[in-house]
Structure 1
Amino acid sequence: MLTDMHIAVIGGDARQLEVIRKLIELDAKISLVGFDQLDHGFAGATKYQIHEVDFSQIDAIILPVRGVNHEGQIDTIFSNEKVYLKEEMLGSTPEYCTVYSGISNDYLNMLVQNTNRKLIQLFERDDVAIYNSIPTVEGTIMLAIQHTDFTIHGSNVAVLGLGRVGMSVARTFAALGANVKVGARKSQHLARITEMALTPFHLDRLANEISNIDICINTIPYQVLTANVISKMPSHSLIIDLASKPGGTDFRYAEKRGIKAMLAPSLPGIVAPKTAGQIVANVLCELLSEDLDKRKGNQP
């Protein structure tokens, strides 16, 4: 239980609703920011504007999956209020206050460093990323079906990267009957691709391996699908980029060539927000409970 723990949930999309429900079940005290247009209320949660929150009473801050942008602004799907997380806000919280975010960036890293607060990036955790790969894969299949005029079965698919998402994507598209090749750099990843009965190739050879690809799925968060690579792709190819913004694709050149390229970094929140929210909520509440137990253990 999270009784007596005061948590600020600031911004977010439909996934955060599952987080709020779980926190309420565990008897936490919740301050909501960025939810003023939400149709239904939550018993046990109070809506505030950001300037109304008494941060000196906040034990934990929960940010959306995307965290904050480079100016500190937080996405607020359920509000027109422009919400910013500022240093003076975080600095006024108790020293033990922990910030939870899906991902981070230079601004958020600077904020927690300057205020000496702890930051936990949920999507850096293997459990969250692996669970989250399930709705990601389903969303990728949905996009592939919607934006092609051929079946996945029998198509030539290239998956770039064999991380937690890349592995799930490659395995599932192969199970659907696609001819899957996977590009990676690490020798252990190339060995794992072979063990999975898929075709491995080193990313240094990407331009040579892309000439017969129908669907290219990128999971690498830096530009690998350069203009040179895209110039070798068939004009009917579909690029689905699952990497975090700005993705790993030269979208300008893809458009110039007439190749459909889509940046889709938040598929779980689009295709299965309830499941994606439950994944985040379950892990988050475990972490909050552990944090509360540690704090109580340190009390005289």
Structure 2
Amino acid sequence: MPHILWMTVKFCGRCLLNMNTGSCDFAVIGGDMRQVYAARMLKERGYRVCCALLCGDEGLPEQELREAVCSARVVLAPVPLSVDRLYLNQKSGEGAFPLTELLDCLKEGQKFYAGCISEEFAYAVSDKGAEAIDIMKQEEIAVYNTIATAEGAVAEAVMKSPRNLHGSRCLVLGYGKCARTLTALLKGMHCQVQVCARNPAQLAEAAILADKAFEFGELEAALPDYDFIFNTVPAMILNRRMIENMNSAVCIFDIASAPGGVEFEAAEELGISAWLLPGLPGKYAPASSAEAIVRYLIGK
């Protein structure tokens, strides 16, 4: 009687995992605590998980990165994938891992998930016969990310300023996804919120929720009025000339993706408090952010 080999297959929302292919289902690599929580959640759901260069967790034994990536059907890399487009975003304290070496580890048929993947890297992954999926371009992930980012920005403002946010005069620069959520949160805390944006449709939308919405041509004259400024625009907006017009007690929080939009050297020279705040979801809500990513990956 012929022997029948039964292959255990798990159906994921975005990918089909054959449990007999490779030594693990997911390789979770690099990043911040979001990666740690994602690895835990995947293991709890019965998947075989290989870990490398995580930021530390005794319950998640690690492998060498090349071994982990080569053995997996799906690779879950950090959000963002890299902060300089050269090295993997990691907080493990080990030596930086070049993206070129990560690319060499990938093989045909793999799915590669990460956040903020450059077009150049995505094309290179495709040339290897693998598929690169930018999870930050998926609407459900992007929305959850704005919640964690907004809450993190407010937490930073509370900790770093001697003033209450309640009743304060706040400016939000830009009105994309993060700015919308942040504006709603600040209004819920009874702040006086104004929004500065370029897009006429965004200005019209912002005017519904904010106390005032105006164009960037009016920004310089308005700057002395604010206690808190939150920038979400990833381009130089608050340069030296703009900063010179601010009141000396203002606090600036830049939550835009790299390179941000504040001339921090000028702010320091002028005695203005300003902070660049990358990776807020990983710092303030890693479990919730990881849950959203895992739901997207496996469809449940």
TM-score interval for Structure 1 and Structure 2 normalised by the shorter chain: 0.7 to 0.9
Correspondence 1:118-157 to 2 at 5 A: 118-157=131-170
> What is the percentage of aligned positions where both structures have the same residue?
27
Correspondence 1:283-294 to 2 at 5 A: 283-286=296-299
**What is aligned with 2:190?**
177
Residues 182 and 34 from structure 1, CA distance in 2 versus in 1: closer, same or farther, beyond 3 angstroms? same
Moved more, 243-252 or 113-122: 113-122
**What is aligned with 1:83?**
97
Letter in 1 for 2:204: A
Residues 195 and 116 from structure 1, CA distance in 2 versus in 1: closer, same or farther, beyond 3 angstroms? same
**What is aligned with 1:296?**
none
Letter in 2 for 1:75: N
**What is aligned with 1:297?**
none
Residue 81 of structure 2 is aligned to residue 67 of structure 1: yes
Rounded to whole Å, the distance in 2 between the matches of 1:264 and 1:194 is 26
Letter in 1 for 2:87: Q
- 1:86 deviates by 2.8
Unpaired segments ≥5 residues, structure 2: 1-9, 11-16
Rounded to whole Å, the distance in 1 between the matches of 2:199 and 2:254 is 21
**What is aligned with 1:48?**
63
Correspondence 1:21-40 to 2 at 5 A: 21-35=40-54, 38-40=57-59
1:1-59 deviation line (CA, Å, top 9, x unaligned): 45616322121221112211222233333221114953223xxxx6311243472x432
Letter in 2 for 1:221: P
Correspondence 1:254-293 to 2 at 5 A: 254-286=267-299
Rounded to whole Å, the distance in 2 between the matches of 1:93 and 1:232 is 50
Contact 2:87–2:98 (CA under 8 A) maintained in structure 1: yes
- 1:221 deviates by 0.9
Residues 245 and 83 from structure 1, CA distance in 2 versus in 1: closer, same or farther, beyond 3 angstroms? same
1:214-265 deviation line (CA, Å, top 9, x unaligned): 1000111111111121111111110000011221111111111111110002
- 1:77 deviates by 2.6
**What is aligned with 2:37?**
18
TM-score if structure 1 supplies the norm length?
0.84
Aligned pairs, number: 281
Classify the secondary structure of the residue corresponding to 2:194: strand
Residues 197 and 214 from structure 1, CA distance in 2 versus in 1: closer, same or farther, beyond 3 angstroms? closer
Moved more, 251-260 or 66-75: 66-75
Rounded to whole Å, the distance in 2 between the matches of 1:122 and 1:13 is 16
**What is aligned with 2:221?**
208
Matching residue within 232, 237, 249 for 2:245: 232
Contact 2:69–2:75 (CA under 8 A) maintained in structure 1: no
Classify the secondary structure of the residue corresponding to 1:211: helix
Classify the secondary structure of the residue corresponding to 1:74: coil
Contact 2:83–2:258 (CA under 8 A) maintained in structure 1: no
Contact 2:107–2:130 (CA under 8 A) maintained in structure 1: no
**What is aligned with 2:4?**
none
Rounded to whole Å, the distance in 2 between the matches of 1:178 and 1:93 is 49
Moved more, 157-166 or 89-98: 89-98
TM-score if structure 2 supplies the norm length?
0.84
